[in-house]
Amino acid sequence: MNPQSPLVFLKLGGSLITDKRQTESPRLDVLERLSAEIADACRQNPALQLVIGHGSGSFGHVTARRYGTRESVRTPEQWQGFAITADAAARLNRIVASSLLKAGLPVWSISPGATLRCEDGRVLAGPEETVGLALERGLIPLVHGDVALDSVRGGTIASTEEIFDWMARSLSPQRIVLAGEVDGVFSADPLRFPNAEPVREITPASLTSLSAGLGGSHGTDVTGGMAAKIDQALAMAGRATGLEVIICGGLQAGNLTRALLGGADWPGTRVISEQ
């Protein structure tokens, strides 16, 4: 891929764009600033190609936890919960799309659930063909964590990272940016331990020493906390030569633009394979 025309996958974390401690509470001011930062990155590098995804935050996660949607969907009540969870995720998606469109970005929402197929929680098919065609036409595909039909569990939930991981195998992004509430990875939970040290870079070799200090996420999250996200980031980086995953905070102004444009001055933490 031409380094001047990078393809970047960007996830706006649920904890960043919603208040996960309050049901269905979008952070509209944060979304507006993040949308402006994405637009700024596109102005600085007009060749930049983006796929944007977002978590469900205080929308889908709360409902999914109530019905146990990620674990399995069997009974009529659970299928009702499956449908309610999908509707909640879609409501947040419309809010995110509206903010990005107002910033002048040609965003097109693609509902992953329509094409997602899983086997015991593992993604086997997704929206990569439609996403690829949208990129060819100059659009910015917008996806999100969503419910999915599963051959073993009946139904389940696929996180944005899991969808990104699947699509990266065919679309070959140069960089995956995971923007959350906390500014990267720290030696311990910085919300509980103010003296926690930031971690600049993570490789498979350095992960062991970090694992003890990594905890779960704050608020309701049915797709795993920071430790799970790092494992997933390392797996994604290991599947493609040269792929880097940036885990950064979106609450600090300018971080998102820097992460999207790339370079040695990345915000937060870079996760790479040792290959």
Q: Is residue 265 part of a domain?
A: yes
Q: What pLDDT score does 212 carry? A: 55
Backbone angle region of 173, left / alpha / beta, with phi > 0 → left and psi within -120 to 50 → alpha: beta
Q: Is residue 259 part of a domain?
A: yes
Q: Is residue 2 part of a domain?
A: no
Average per-residue pLDDT for the chain: 90
Q: CATH number for the domain including 56?
A: 3.40.1160.10
Q: Is residue 94 part of a domain?
A: yes
16-21 average pLDDT score: 90
13 or 191: which carries more pLDDT confidence?
13
Residue with tokens 């062991």: 208
Q: Is residue 229 part of a domain?
A: yes
Q: What pTM does this model have? A: 0.90
Q: Is residue 26 part of a domain?
A: yes
Q: What pLDDT score does 222 carry? A: 45
Q: What pLDDT score does 218 carry? A: 52
Residues 222/64, Cβ–Cβ less than 8 Å: yes
- Inform me whether the pLDDT recorded for 31 exceeds 50: yes
Q: Is residue 66 part of a domain?
A: yes
Q: What is the pLDDT of residues 132-149, one digit of tens each?
A: 999 999 999 999 999 999
Q: What pLDDT score does 187 carry? A: 81
- Expressed as residue numbers, the domain containing 260 is 7-271
* Strand intervals (E) in the chain: 7-12, 49-54, 107-109, 117-119, 122-125, 140-144, 146-150, 154-158, 175-180, 185-186, 198-199, 201-202, 244-249, 269-271
Q: What pLDDT score does 8 carry? A: 98
Q: What pLDDT score does 275 carry? A: 54
Number of domains in the chain: 1
2 or 164: which carries more pLDDT confidence?
164
Q: What is the pLDDT of residues 52-76, one digit of tens each?
A: 999 998 898 888 899 999 999 999 9
Q: Is residue 1 part of a domain?
A: no
Q: What pLDDT score does 221 carry? A: 46
Residue with tokens 């098919």: 125
Q: What pLDDT score does 217 carry? A: 53
- Inform me whether the pLDDT recorded for 166 exceeds 50: yes
81-94 average pLDDT score: 96
